[in-house]
Amino acid sequence: MIHRVLLAAALSLIPGVVRAKPPAVDAAFAPKLIIYPAKGAANACGPGCDRWIAVEGRIDQDAASRIRRFLLKVKDTQRPIYFHSPGGVVGQSFLIGRLLRSRKAVARIGRTIVTACGAATQVDDACLKIKTGGGEVEAEIVTRYAMCNSACSYLFLGATTREVAPDAAMAVHNSKLTMIFHGHPSAQQIAAFTERSTVKADRERASFIAAMGISHELTDLVRTVKFESLHILTRPELYRFGIDTRPTVETAWRLEGAARPYVRKIVLAKKDDSQSFRTMEWRLFCENKDRARLMFVREFDQGGAAVNSVIMIAGSEKPVIFGKFPARTGTYEVWSETIASDTMKAVLAASHLQIGEGASMSEGKTSLATFDIDTNGMEAAWTQFLASCPAAPANAKSVIASPGLTFSPAQ
């Protein structure tokens, strides 16, 4: 059984606000599955994590044996494994999935960008030689446009800890059977054999998914998706099926190249009263070396009370209420304001930022809902970004630093 290689673009997360197309991916994968150790900067793969295992490429007929040999040499069974694959041989994915389950592996979806490959495509011959040379490579993790599709989804299910970033994709579809007949069987014999093989393949898939502790809803869904198509699992589906059951998922802060570059973070948070999630995004722009601008985009609940204030707490600083009149685009609110350099330093020094959303209630009372977001990657991304910022104008008015940030409607 072989899945045709089908690629899917990562979804735009915020309509009208996040509009970006993925890079060309026609030749974005190695012809066979490769596995190698990688090392990055401090916290490159999460707080306290700077080493991981990269698994990428098309799942070929001998993939499981290579993965097994490699993992036998890795004593740290909790070192995270990052997958980036369009799929391949289904039977091999089942074998790898069971191997990962025996290790109680931690699996994530992410692209490993190897520094020594420079501006290469990451899959040309020179880069593949570096990746498969046997040594640990210097690299970084990028979750945006990363994918684990088709047969890759099954090996991913084998891990006991599974994490899918907000900007990564996991997609499924039904299998395609490739059969070779010898001799000259009749049409009836071919049809009967094909039917038996299809039933067997469906049974094996359902048995594997159930053994991995995943809801039968995933099996039911896969049966409805034609092989020629591809269904990207939504965040509620990932949660409901038991694939990634975190109530809040977030990306690291990362510098994004664009006509006007910015540092970005995305958070998906489960709503208290359902299995649905809402999307939030932070974009940090550089106006000059003494002043930044932060844009906060939140999805609002049309049936709930309107949020008229936002609070940020950085470290032990006193919370400050932000502006009251955000701009609206579709079902999203956009808040924005400048940040003084001293305030930016306080934000960078905090390991977490507490965000509070205040809504007016009856009798003049205000309810406040709070949640935390981490600052992982923020300092490195901002330091890199700041190097290209213009100097502050000599006649610029001084900006008084405050312990928080003030938002106003986007201009």
Identify whether 355 is part of a domain.
yes
The DSSP code for 234 is P
Same-domain status, 99 and 125: yes
The DSSP code for 172 is E
Identify whether 17 is part of a domain.
no
Minimum mean pLDDT range among 9-18, 220-229, 240-249, 316-325? 9-18
Same-domain status, 126 and 217: yes
Identify whether 363 is part of a domain.
yes
Q: 């299910």: which residue's tokens?
A: 157
Identify whether 29 is part of a domain.
no
Identify whether 26 is part of a domain.
no
Domain final residue pick, 182, 209, 240:
240
Q: State which amino acid sits at residue 248.
A: T
Same-domain status, 263 and 400: yes
Per-residue confidence (pLDDT) for residue 381, from 0 to 100: 94
Same-domain status, 169 and 263: no
Same-domain status, 97 and 52: yes
Average pLDDT, the chain: 83
The residues that bridge with 331 in the sheet, in sequence order, are none
The CATH number of the domain holding residue 381 is 2.60.40.1880
The DSSP code for 150 is T
Domain final residue pick, 240, 274, 290:
240
CB atoms within 10 A of CB 250: 19
Domain count for the chain:
2
pLDDT band per the 50, 70, 90 thresholds, residue 197: low
Same-domain status, 148 and 183: yes
Same-domain status, 226 and 264: no
Distances (CA, A) of 53 to 40, 118, 347, 379, 394: 11, 20, 31, 24, 49
Same-domain status, 96 and 127: yes
Domain final residue pick, 223, 240, 257:
240
Identify whether 25 is part of a domain.
no
The CATH number of the domain holding residue 46 is 3.90.226.10
Same-domain status, 105 and 208: yes
Say whether pLDDT at 326 is over 70. yes
Identify whether 1 is part of a domain.
no
Say whether pLDDT at 331 is over 90. no
Per-residue confidence (pLDDT) for residue 400, from 0 to 100: 36
| pLDDT over 70, % of the chain | 80
Domain residue limits at 97 = 34-240
Minimum mean pLDDT range among 127-131, 362-366, 402-406? 402-406
Same-domain status, 375 and 353: yes
Same-domain status, 259 and 167: no
Q: What is the pLDDT of residues 141-186, one digit of tens each?
A: 999 999 999 999 999 999 999 999 999 999 999 877 665 556 667 7
Same-domain status, 282 and 218: no
Pairing type for strands 34-39 and 51-56 reads antiparallel
Per-residue confidence (pLDDT) for residue 239, from 0 to 100: 97
* Phi (first) and psi of residue 170, to 5 degrees: -125, 125
CB atoms within 10 A of CB 87: 28
Identify whether 286 is part of a domain.
yes
